Amino acid sequence: MRNDAAKAGIGFGSALAITISWSANKSLLWAIVHGIFSWFYVIYYAIRYHGAT
């Protein structure tokens, strides 16, 4: 059960990173790279573009 939740989190993180990357860059290559980095890119994007200024 716990293993399934971890896999779902990794899958969702990759999908979210790819979606954000495509929206921001319109580049398939960057979307793939950011999908590999998954949650790291999502957190980076949130801090960089939606963090407190």
C-alpha distances (whole Å) from 32 to each of 4, 16, 41, 47, 53 are 23, 12, 11, 21, 29
pLDDT tens string, the chain, 53 residues long: the values are: 567 766 676 799 999 999 999 999 999 999 999 999 999 999 999 999 987 65
pLDDT at 42: 95
pTM here? Answer: 0.80
C-alpha distances (whole Å) from 48 to each of 5, 9, 31, 42 are 28, 22, 17, 10
C-alpha distances (whole Å) from 37 to each of 10, 17, 43, 53 are 10, 8, 10, 25
